[in-house]
Amino acid sequence: MPPTSRALVSDPASGCAGGLDEGGPADRTHFAPGYYAANVADFDGNRLEFVHKAWNAEP
């Protein structure tokens, strides 16, 4: 994955006030090849997934 894409999901919990790590940044090949994601929960209990799909073109 390009460094710019990896940076988008490298530490999402630090960007969420009160965020809880629910799955650090890693390849999630059980979903699909090239699926890289991180999961957090915010202070209200909302679950968020930050994801990069290798088959999506870079902006």
Q: Where are the domains of the chain?
A: 3-53
Q: What is the CATH number of domain 3-53?
A: 3.10.180.10
Question: CA-to-CA distance for 29 and 7, rounded, in angstroms?
Answer: 19
Indicate if the pLDDT at residue 3 is higher than 50: no
CA–CA–CA angle 33, 36, 38 (5° rounding): 145
6-32: pLDDT as tens digits: 554 555 555 556 678 888 888 998 988
pTM of the model: 0.61
According to the model, what pLDDT value does residue 1 have? 44
Q: pLDDT grade, residue 2 (50/70/90)?
A: very low
